[in-house]
Structure 1
Amino acid sequence: MDKIKIGLVGLGTVGSSVLKMITENSDKVQNITGRSLSVKTVVIRDVAKHQNQVPAGVTVTTDLNAIINDPEIKIAVEVMGGVHPAKEVITKLLNAKKHVVTANKDLIASAGEELAAIAKHNHCDLMYEASVAGGIPILRTIVTSFAADYITEVKGIVNGTTNYILTQMQRKNWSYDLALAKAQELGFAESDPTNDVEGIDAAYKMIILSQFSYGTHLKLANMSVEGISTIQQSDVQQADAFGYTIKLLGISRRIDDGVFAEVGPVLVPKDHPLATINNENNAVMVTGQAVGETLFYGRGAGGLPTANSVLSDIVSVTKNIVLGTTGNSFNNYQSKVGKVDLNNVIYPYYLSLNMLDVPGQMLKFTQIMTQIGASFSRIVQTSTDGQTARVVIITHEMSKVQLHDLKQQLLAVDTMSLLAAYKVL
């Protein structure tokens, strides 16, 4: 049988797992596709560091041209990460007529359309299932299983680092700093965790999910993105007392003729499926008009889960090579959407405020809520030091415009300050 030879760019956690899975699962892949897979060349920065990880017969080099100029290599796998030089590397590979599989969500979210156009021009496949939710096969599921359905909402926990941290804050009453340190110790968080804990990683994934679900490309600059670094243990405990758990959710919804997407901490009812997703696990909930709510759950990060999604892309490309159907976009769905009126983006909100502990403060706050046309359903004064009091409120449904007006009015009041404002699912 013919062999499909592969070039691998990067040999970190995911790259080494891809190499392992191709080596160990070659018989099953051959049975499915009629072709056997083998890694011929690995391109890395430091050959000496990784030489012992690579099986005999595999070329290890720092020169990308070893893949570009090799006619035997049909598929290139990019697992180096980052936007640059990964974008330039993938562009060169596509222009050399190599099919490309990548796990690079930052790159796909920011330059996916451009790279897809280059792939199409060269009649090449560009696959990136592993760019969202690690081992969960969510993108291909949306493309195939939801092809005839009208998706109205996609929401979920799409970052394992933040989910691990929030799980420890709730279960063990750890502070944010302690939970982050433990996540770093266990390898769930990078030494610089900014992209994860500030919600940027989740936002990139929601951009890709929205592209597949609604056929529109959202821009990071137009999204509201809030992370978890300012969440206080007191809010975690109060949410728990109210019957909720705090999760960092990405949410994208069709509203009227537009699509609205954002990332931020959300109070999730304890009986909601997403409230049960803990530690480094991910879950994506897709709502379609026909099928209703569906939930996809699994490990969202780690070498082997991500490598499994990479390998599923490699198998898909291999099938396309065999059938002579390469060059089609991973996602062909394109749709024009209008702008969303923020008056129509409506949720209840959890508000945590610090107030001067003197008579008249709650009256003042109630007057502000009345002025913006909002009201609240629950209110608790949780603590006082004799000078200031912490007050926690859950509002009735209010719009993004009302929330913005509330924040602006509170800025003008020197006797109270807004500590947190989180959506309530």
Structure 2
Amino acid sequence: MAKVAILGFGTVGSGVLEVIRTNASSISRRVGQEVSVKYICDIRDFSGHPDEKLFVKEIDTVLRDEEVQVVVETIGGLNPAYFYVKSALESGKHVATSNKELVAVHGAELLALAKDKGVCFLFEASVGGGMPMIAPLRDSLAANVVQELYGIINGTTNFMLTEMAEKGCNFDEALHHAQELGYAETRDPSADVDGIDAQRKICILSSLILGREIHPENVPVRGIRGIAPEDFKALAACQSTVKLIARFSCRDDVLSPDISVEPMAVPKESPLAGVNDVYNAAMIRCDMLGDVMFYGKGAGKLPTASAVVADVMDVLVKQHAASEGLMWRACEPLEQGTYFCTEEKSDWYMRGRGASAPQGMREIWREGERFAGIVRGISRTQWDDFCEKAEKNGFCVENTMRLLAK
């Protein structure tokens, strides 16, 4: 019988226990042995809980027990998760985690440590929740060069944007509804709404694709706080909607990838335009296969937990071979600047107030002195100049976005 320890008994941690128990027969058949949870490590008091006997408060109890083969980390954040995961690897235990901040910041170090100790560090759930992304990139697409990856990889903001598009509510109303349903943090939702969660995820994917560490601080990010109902009204005129898009592109120079997270105007004909609520989707363009799309729930207790348990099963079947192909080398952050191509030509959207629309912008929507329009085929540098000139000429710019190429 394989023994597992769960660190952190919140939403995902409790989901891991539920998945292992609910699908026990299927899991044991696939793994070739029974899988059970021996410990749940959490500093809180769970007296009276039906599984009270499983709870421990000291990580050393887990680390010293040689029966524990796999440690599941679902605490989140860096402290104490980093120390616990590092200690587990050093103790010769495999680790599966859903912690995207941990992987984005310390992934290179922990992967190297796992390899040195002959164990695995797996993190499928850290990027797509229940939607597989890591394993397909590592295995199914291994013979391809990934030229571009872009998509919706944060379920909370996608739910909010869906609410705004379908119900006409504003940002605050959409956030409140997301918090009521448990999709957004009630105390501090900034990691989701400011794009930080998606930034960490695209860093993990980019690091895996390139084989070298991409630091979050070098990836430009803009969240959805500036999105208003008027943006959806205006973009409907040109058959588009708004999505928070994480994007990686690297066609010619692997040393200068184009990586970003930002709200974008997405044409209705794009498959991403129809991805709503808490669902995630990602488009991957490969040199040999061409285009492939992944779609699934990017948030929620059981979808995320199922991805964590899949990693546990992978480890138990393949042992240290489960980490083959999962590696990127550590690199120092860029001293200045970001991984963003300022000279790539794009179409741009602008919304604002003024006596008239800025010269050179094709008007698509107007209410009194409020305008929205499109400017075609200019670079980021040229767009910044265009916006600055519009402001100098008395136009108050309220929001801008790139248009996702068709």
What residue in structure 1 maps to residue 371 of structure 2?
391
236, 252, 259: which one pairs with 1:256?
Answer: 252
Greater Rg, structure 1 or structure 2?
Answer: 1
Shift of 1:255: 4.4
SS across alignment from 1:132? helix
Shift of 1:131: 0.2
Q: Deviations over 1:209-251 (max 9, x none)?
A: 1122232322222222111111111111111122101011111
1:239–1:341 CA distance, 2 compared to 1 (3 A): closer
SS across alignment from 1:144? helix
Give the whole-Å Cα distance in 1 for the aligned partners of 2:192 and 2:269. 26
Matched, 1:422 2:406: no
Give the whole-Å Cα distance in 2 for the aligned partners of 1:80 and 1:123. 24
Partners of 1:352 and 1:391 within 8 A in 2: yes
What residue in structure 2 maps to residue 169 of structure 1?
164
What residue in structure 2 maps to residue 342 of structure 1?
341
Q: Deviations over 1:305-328 (max 9, x none)?
A: 00110011001110123xxx4584
Partners of 2:281 and 2:293 within 8 A in 1: yes
Deviates more, 1:393-402 or 1:101-110: 393-402
Matches for 1:5-404 after TM superposition, within 5 Å: 5-48=3-46, 51-54=48-51, 58-191=53-186, 192-257=188-253, 258-321=256-319, 325-326=320-321, 328-329=323-324, 331-332=326-327, 342-355=341-354, 357=355, 365-366=358-359, 376=361, 378-380=362-364, 382-384=366-368, 389-404=369-384
Shift of 1:380: 3.8
Q: CA RMSD in A?
A: 2.1
SS across alignment from 1:80? coil
1:61 is aligned with what amino acid? V
Partners of 1:214 and 1:334 within 8 A in 2: no
1:380–1:419 CA distance, 2 compared to 1 (3 A): same
Number of equivalenced pairs: 396
1:14–1:328 CA distance, 2 compared to 1 (3 A): closer
Give the whole-Å Cα distance in 1 for the aligned partners of 2:323 and 2:339. 31
SS across alignment from 1:71? coil
Give the whole-Å Cα distance in 1 for the aligned partners of 2:248 and 2:322. 29
Give the whole-Å Cα distance in 2 for the aligned partners of 1:404 and 1:53. 59
Partners of 2:46 and 2:55 within 8 A in 1: no
Q: Which runs of 5+ in 1 are unaligned?
A: 367-374
Give the whole-Å Cα distance in 1 for the aligned partners of 2:322 and 2:178. 41
Q: Which runs of 5+ in 2 are unaligned?
A: none
Shift of 1:53: 4.6
Give the whole-Å Cα distance in 2 for the aligned partners of 1:421 and 1:272. 20
Shift of 1:160: 0.8
Give the whole-Å Cα distance in 2 for the aligned partners of 1:330 and 1:149. 13
Partners of 2:260 and 2:340 within 8 A in 1: no
Partners of 1:214 and 1:335 within 8 A in 2: no
Give the whole-Å Cα distance in 2 for the aligned partners of 1:204 and 1:341. 16
Partners of 1:44 and 1:61 within 8 A in 2: yes
TM-score by length of 2: 0.92
Shift of 1:201: 0.4
Q: Percent identity?
A: 33
Give the whole-Å Cα distance in 1 for the aligned partners of 2:145 and 2:272. 22
SS across alignment from 1:397? strand
1:289–1:335 CA distance, 2 compared to 1 (3 A): farther
